[in-house]
Structures are given as structure tokens and as C-alpha cells.
């Protein structure tokens, strides 16, 4: 069964990011030009927090080791981000933490 967290969309305006916690899991939400991306807050390289990483467009740089990840890409490489689906309804953003067979 998927777990979810919802926040008011007004709490994540374009250009902002927000760290949320769901059942002990840390997730970062980024609003880039009105598109919201949700990723696990753990770098797949060595587990560093990605929440404070430098963001240029949709490219996020790990603050610990400098690796770059494209938030908008569907990457199947070994070192790829774990994305979570985000939906918007009635002014709320909902992130679903479902264990999917494909991580992007």
C-alpha cells in the first residue's frame, strides 16, 4: 500500500524546495517553473543529503561529492535518483512513496 504526504501547493512556489518526512523517510520536493519533482533525499553514491544541493534548471548537484542528476530525466543508470510521483488536487500537492520496480 502506498504511503503519501500532502502539503498545500502554496507552500512550494516555483523556484523553491521543501524537505518533508514520511514514516522516517526524507524526501525533497522541488518546484521548477511550476513542475514539482519529488526525490529521495539520499544521494545514490554515498548517501549524502541532496536537499541543499546546487540547482541549475533541472540539474541538481550533490553537495558532498559534486555528482549531477537531472530531476526531469528517466535515467536507468546505476547511480540514479529515486523519484516519487506527485499529484495536485484541490490546492494540495501529494507525494506517493510507493516502492516501484523502476527508480528514476
- Given a cut of 60, is residue 1 above it in pLDDT? no
Could you tell me if 98 and 16 are in contact, meaning their C-beta atoms sit under 8 angstroms apart? Answer: no
- Cα pseudo-dihedral 2, 39, 41, 54, rounded to 10: -170
- Given a cut of 90, is residue 75 above it in pLDDT? no
- Given a cut of 70, is residue 80 above it in pLDDT? yes
pLDDT in tens, 6-34: 999 999 999 999 999 887 889 999 999 99
Phi/psi at 10 (nearest 5 deg)?
A: -65, -20
In whole angstroms, give the CA distance from residue 8 to residue 36. Answer: 13
- Given a cut of 70, is residue 99 above it in pLDDT? no
* Torsion sign, CA atoms 26, 52, 55, 93: positive
Q: What is the pLDDT of residue 46?
A: 85
Strand ordering across the sheet containing 3-8: 3-8, 92-97, 86-89
Q: What is the pLDDT of residue 103?
A: 41
Query: Using 50, 70 and 90 to split pLDDT, how confident is the model at 76?
Result: low
**Residue 2 cell numbers, joined:** 502506498
Q: Delineate the domains of the chain, giving CATH numbers in brackets.
A: 4-96 (2.102.10.10)
Query: Using 50, 70 and 90 to split pLDDT, how confident is the model at 62?
Result: very high
Amino acid at each position: 500500500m502506498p504511503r503519501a504526504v500532502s502539503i498545500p501547493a502554496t507552500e512550494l512556489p516555483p523556484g523553491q524546495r521543501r524537505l518533508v518526512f514520511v514514516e522516517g523517510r526524507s524526501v525533497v520536493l522541488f518546484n521548477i517553473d511550476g513542475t514539482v519533482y519529488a526525490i529521495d533525499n539520499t544521494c545514490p553514491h554515498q548517501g549524502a543529503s541532496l536537499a541543499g544541493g546546487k540547482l541549475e534548471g533541472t540539474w541538481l548537484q550533490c553537495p558532498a561529492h559534486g555528482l549531477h542528476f537531472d530531476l526531469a530525466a528517466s535515467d536507468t543508470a546505476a547511480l540514479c535518483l529515486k523519484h516519487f510521483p506527485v499529484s495536485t488536487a484541490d490546492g494540495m500537492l501529494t507525494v506517493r512513496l510507493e516502492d516501484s520496480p523502476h527508480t528514476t
